[in-house]
Structure 1
Amino acid sequence: MELERKLMVHYSHPRDFPFWIQRNGHNSLNTPGWHVHEFVELIFVMDGQATHLIQDAAFDLRAGDVFMINPGEMHEYALKDNQRIEIVNCLFQPDFIPSSLLHEMQLSDSLDFFYVQPFLNGEARFHHKLNLQGEAAREAMELLEQIEREMGRRHSGFQSLVRLKMVELFILLSRHYDTRGEHSGARSTSELLVRRVCGYVERHYNQKITLALLSNLFHIGERQLNRQFNKHIGTSVIHYLHRIRIDHAKRLLADTDEKISVIAELVGYEDPAFFTKLFTREASCPPGKYRETIRPSPNRQ
């Protein structure tokens, strides 16, 4: 199976603002095959029907469905001869919503469709998918059209307006995700809090993250946060952060030719020596050896 890799540089976004919005129409003769991308993709289904294949799960799509695709997730659409689908795609980097905005606007418990739902496992993700109808669908579409206009005109301050309108959209989506009882899978308030923190770490892993920062953002004491992580995840917050960073480093080692020091910086480590030590502990071999193993040279094939 040939897998296409999509990068933000493939789209005509402003150089200093890696965000893109577009409308796409697909039928059985015109549909993207299996692909992955480095960015987050928000998909809003305007009209039509299709099947959306994400990793090893299949979802029937209809008007009003909203999906989030994470970086590195493999997906495609499947349409029968008589099917068509019209969608809006928003493409952006995982850390599109700044931590400062989360803090200043007190949004840590208002963006669960961005920080929680996309990280559920396949079965839970299917049962917790979001479908908007009536006024909710119109409100979402109006926001997307406003974002589309701002990106088209690119007047002064458009970046800030697009970012704020995307935050408004995520609040709207999270509100409907919450009111539909989609948190029923969370067995307790503390587990939902841990899921939110995990989602934040997934989105911002390449930035400076400390226990104090997370404690401040999510309004919980540092010791209590670590206790809840150990209870629900089985590890400390910082070890979970390292695990996420090492997973992303493995992907970069496999898919790029970047130097080890560059990869260390890309996943959030300023000290390449510390990164190498940590990677070796987590992966049972140094980064260079891991790359050799995962990408054998032609001479050894």
Structure 2
Amino acid sequence: MTVFKGDMFFKQEDFPFFIDRYTIKRGEYIPSHTHDFIELVFVVEGSAEHDMSGHTYQLAAGDVFVLEPNVYHSYRCAPEKDTVVYNVLFEAAFLQREMDVLQQLPSFVNFFYLLPFLRKSHSFVPYHPLLPVQKLQIQSHLAAIYEEFTERRDGYQLLIKTRLIECLVWLSRYHQENREAVKQPSVSERAWMDSIIHFVERHYHQPLTLQQLSQLSGMSVSSFTAKFKEAAGMSLLDYKHTVQIRHASTLLLSTDKKVLDIALETGFGDVSFFNRVFRKHTGLTPREYRSRPASQ
């Protein structure tokens, strides 16, 4: 199967972004493929079958969804007419600072991070059609981004970033509003907990809180605490520390970075606290762990 690499699309190292307005011809089949970057897909018109994660979905105008790296998917256009889509490709680092802020919005985390994971559930559709006015607004934003990317006039990079952030905020809002307005297939508490665990694994370096994650799950803090411990076998804080220490251990053995830098990179704002947590989990200080014989 085909694996698309970012350097096939991103021509500027400091601006890992690409957008295309692509037409899938009637009856055309796009074979299964994946990529090492994030892809946002918006269906402008037409319809097609979209296969991903072992499930087949019927796409229609106004559908929008996010594909994280390493997800295989394919398309088969309907025979009646062409299907037009916007493909927005970017590296996670492209909006790193902005993502840190956006992650404080439960609706964004739900749309951008939890939805892609939850598509593994057979009963869950990972995208929903936008209402007509919503579709027009997102289409307008993407058309403006496409024009800026194509013409590359002065300041186009800043305008593209600004428009893309607006798109992500609006899409997060629309997802929340539409989900509340229309009865959606239920997702089990275990599926939600698995998605939260997946989120913590990816964002261990962020200041995640019980309040934030319980709100995402639609649970009280006490209920979330109990369900998370049941699913993960430990509390949220202990699980987060376990993930942080695992990554810190890898960095200690595979790089020559300073202990302070590793502490900051793995989400510890205080090196003394990092040392205490590291010793609690490994029985060694970070320096002792790094200098121990390889056979131990």
TM range (shorter): 0.5 to 0.7
- Residues 274-293 of structure 1 show CA distances to partners (whole Å, capped at 9, x for unaligned) of 9xxx9xxxxxxxxxxxxxxx
In the aligned structure 2, how far is the partner of 1:136 from the partner of 1:201? 32
Structural mapping, 1:244-283, within 5 Å: 261=254
Residue 50 of structure 1 aligns with which residue? 48
Q: How many angstroms apart in 2 are the aligned matches of 1:40 and 1:6?
A: 11
Matched residue type, 1:109:
P
The change in CA–CA distance for 1:236 and 1:84 in structure 2 (over 3 A counts) is farther
Q: In structure 2, the residue corresponding to 1:135 is in which secondary structure?
A: helix
Q: What's the secondary structure of 2:18's corresponding residue?
A: strand
RMSD: 4.2
SS at match of 2:92: coil
d(CA) in 2 for partners of 1:217 and 1:98?
23
1:26 to partner: Cα distance? 1.2
Report if aligned partners of 1:50, 1:79 keep a CA contact under 8 Å in 2: yes
Pairwise CA distance, 1:160 = 3.4
CA contact (8 A) 1:23 1:89 kept: yes
Structure 1 residues 132-160: Cα deviation after superposition (integer angstroms, max 9, x where no partner): 13110000001111211222233444333
Q: Note the C-alpha offset of 1:12.
A: 4.4
Q: Is the 8 A contact 2:200 2:240 kept in 1?
A: no
- Counterpart CA distance in 2 for 1:55 and 1:192 is 17
8 Å Cα contact 2:37-2:89 kept in structure 1: yes
* Structure 2 residue aligned with 1:68: 66
CA shift, 1:62, in A, is: 1.1
Query: 1:173 offset after TM fit, Å?
Result: 1.3
TM-score (ref. length: structure 1) = 0.64
> In structure 1, the residue corresponding to 2:61 is in which secondary structure?
coil
Per-residue CA shift, 1:91-122, capped at 9, x if unaligned? 1123443256543x674323121122111024
- Moved runs in structure 1, 4+ residues, more than 6 A? 191-194, 223-228, 240-246
Partner of 1:171: 169
Distance 1:116 1:7 in 2: 24
Cα deviation 1:214-262 (Å, max 9, x = unaligned): 2399499xx989766424544455646877999xxxxxxxxxxxxx948
Amino acid paired to 2:173: R
Specify the structure having the higher radius of gyration (Cα): 2
Cα distance change, pair 14–117 in 1 and its aligned pair in 2 (3 A): same
Q: How does 1:81-160 map to 2 (within 5 A)?
A: 81-99=79-97, 102-103=100-101, 107-111=104-108, 112-120=110-118, 121-126=120-125, 128-160=126-158
Could you say which residue in structure 1 is the equivalent of 2:293? none
- How far apart are 1:47 and its partner, in Å? 0.9
What is the TM-score normalised by the length of structure 2?
0.65
> Number of residue pairs matched?
243
Alignment of 1:231-250 (within 5 A): 231-237=230-236, 239=239
Kept after mapping to 1: 8 A contact 2:48/2:60: yes
Aligned twin of 2:30: 32
User: Offset of 1:80 from its aligned partner?
Assistant: 4.8
Whole-Å Cα distance in 2 between the matches of residues 187 and 36 of structure 1?
28
Residues 64/100 of structure 1: CA separation in 2 closer, same or farther (3 Å cut): closer
Q: Which runs of 5+ in 1 are unaligned?
A: 247-259, 279-301
Question: Counterparts of 1:242 and 1:28 in 2: how far apart (Å)?
Answer: 50
Q: State the 1:71 CA deviation.
A: 0.9
SS in 1 for 2:19: strand
Q: Residues 261, 125 of structure 1: CA spacing in aligned structure 2 closer, same or farther, 3 A cutoff?
A: farther
Give the match for residue 199 of structure 2: 199
Identity %: 24
**Distance in 2 of aligned mates of 1:42 and 1:52:** 14
Q: Is the Cα contact below 8 Å between 1:41 and 1:69 reproduced in 2? A: yes
Output one character per residue of 1:2-27: Cα deviation in whole Å (capped at 9) or x when no partner: x0000111114422111111011112
Return closer, same or farther for 1:153/1:116 CA change in 2, 3 Å cut-off: same
Please say if residues 65 and 130 of structure 1, whose CA atoms lie closer than 8 Å, have aligned partners that are also in contact: yes
- Of the structure 1 ranges 233-242 and 70-79, higher mean CA displacement relative to structure 2 is found in 233-242
Does the 8 Å contact 1:66/1:131 carry over to 2?
A: yes
